[in-house]
């Protein structure tokens, strides 16, 4: 199976969030992921892309297809250059929100994927990397 190369999508508007969700669903379907896996990754995409737009002052999402040790995966990297997250542990706590949401975005996204990494530095931005394997 030939895997497509990485691609990057801009995240500046609500329409970009919708496009990111759609692109992730298509990539996952093309790589043979089932509906449950697609739904989990699309939900995480929605949360993280929305965070980049609303809190990170816009950013990008990079999609990368993976093949390691006979497994197929999809990795997404969300990057923004916004104000950053001063306390990542607090931000991952269910119920915590710095805005008007329910406070389930980061922690919920972490639970929906197989691998989750976050880096953030005040005044430099945030990078969240998520991976789902089949």
Q: What is the CATH number of the domain that holds 28?
A: 3.30.565.10
- Please report how the helices 105-112 and 35-54 are oriented relative to each other, as an axis angle in degrees rounded to 10: 150
Sign, Cα dihedral of 42, 88, 63, 99: positive
41 lies in which domain range?
7-133
Over 60: is that where the pLDDT of 2 sits?
A: no
Please tell me the total count of domains within the chain.
1
Q: Is position 63 within any domain?
A: yes
The answer to whether residue 19 sits within a structural domain is: yes
* Residue in the structure block whose two tokens are 């699309």: 42
**How wide is the angle at C-alpha 119 spanned by C-alphas 86 and 9, nearest 5°?**
115
pLDDT digits 0-9 by tens, 10-24: 999 999 999 999 999
Kindly state the average pLDDT of the residues 62-88: 94
Which pTM value belongs to this model?
0.91
Q: In the predicted model, is pLDDT for residue 103 greater than 90?
A: no
């Amino acid at each position: 199976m030939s895997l497509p190369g990485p691609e990057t999508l801009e995240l500046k508007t609500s329409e970009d969030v919708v496009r990111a969700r759609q692109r992730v669903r298509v990539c996952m379907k093309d790589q043979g992921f089932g509906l449950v896996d697609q739904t989990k990754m699309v939900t995480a995409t929605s949360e993280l892309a929305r965070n980049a737009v609303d809190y990170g002052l816009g950013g990008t999402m990079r999609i990368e297809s993976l093949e390691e040790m006979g497994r197929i995966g999809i990795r997404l990297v969300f990057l923004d250059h916004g104000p950053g997250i001063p306390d990542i542990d607090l931000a991952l706590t269910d119920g915590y929100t710095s805005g008007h949401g329910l406070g389930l975005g980061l922690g919920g996204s972490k639970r929906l994927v197989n691998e989750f990494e976050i880096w953030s530095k005040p005044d430099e931005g945030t990078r969240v990397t998520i991976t789902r394997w089949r």
